[in-house]
Amino acid sequence: MGFFSGVFDSDKLADAINTTKNATKNITGKVAGSFAESAGEMKKFSEETKKMKQPVEGAITRYGVAYKGGLAKYPKQQSGEIGLNIMEECFYLKPTIGTNDWFEEMAIPYAKIKSLEIVERKISNTEWLLSSSDSDMKAMEQKNNIEIEYEDSDGNEQFIRLEMLTGISIYGQAKKCVEFMDVLRQNGILKKFAGNRNAAQNMQGQQMSGMQAGETQAANGDVILEQIEKLAGLKEKGILSEEEYQQKKSELLAKL
């Protein structure tokens, strides 16, 4: 009895149980705290990501794009989303959480844009290796790349290539590019591009030159008719013979 009472002493057993309970409680608390902290961080990250993917204030609309090269500042294409915001007077490119470590927000004024084209995407080496046929390759060559040629504030020519990300599939992204162009047309933005404005000015200049040429020709015609009338008067007075009159008249009419 003495041996067993020592082993199963009720006080010692109770202390051991309490110690185990406290240790378990501490571990459970730490685990729960860790999960709560992780959940809080995930929620915060999700909210920040969602916020950064919203259109900036004053934007007509926003599309998610990926950088595919062109700028000397960023010589290689990069993964991650950049916000392409369509503003009243410029494209405003703003990074998201996935790109803010390397891409700086920038604006491209419409008045500085020389050209904007939607072109076929370039097939990556991975896609080429995974494709099973030429038809698969062709299916991936959708027009979902936006190429913009513009002039920077220093007057230097710049070029940027962006791939549409908005739209679940490649086909969906190509449709979003069509929508993107529709938005530009509907809001009169294409007319603000430097290239289109210069073309319109050249056309207007040509029309004005044509009008001026017509006015000059009409004025010359009036002068010639007056000269013919004077010749007729000289003929009536006997100063010019009929032959001289007809000869001079023919020369003047040839100038019309």
Tell whether 7 is covered by a domain: yes
Question: CB atoms < 10 A from the CB of 62, how many?
Answer: 18
Same domain, 108 and 138: yes
Please state, rounded to an integer, the average pLDDT across all residues of the chain. Answer: 80
Tell whether 39 is covered by a domain: yes
- 95-104, 216-225, 246-255 — most confident range: 95-104
Q: What is the pLDDT of residue 179?
A: 97
The amino acid present at 75, given as its one-letter code, is: P
Regarding pTM above 0.85, the answer is no
DSSP 8-state code for residue 240: S
Question: Which residues form the domain of 9?
Answer: 2-52
Same domain, 32 and 73: no
pLDDT in tens, 190-248: 999 997 655 444 545 555 555 555 555 555 667 777 787 887 887 787 777 888 778 87
Q: Please, which residues have CB within 8 angstroms of residue 95's CB and are 6 or more apart in sequence?
A: 52, 80, 82, 83, 102, 103, 104, 105
The amino acid present at 99, given as its one-letter code, is: T
Domain count, the chain: 3
Same domain, 18 and 79: no
Nearest alpha carbon to residue 145 among 183, 117, 115, 172: 117
Q: Please, which residues have CB within 8 angstroms of residue 27's CB and are 6 or more apart in sequence?
A: none
Cβ atoms of 127 and 140 closer than 8 Å: yes
Same domain, 131 and 43: no
Q: Quote the CA–CA distance of 165 and 130 in Å, as a whole number.
A: 21
pLDDT in tens, 19-68: 776 767 677 666 666 666 666 666 665 666 677 789 999 999 999 999 99
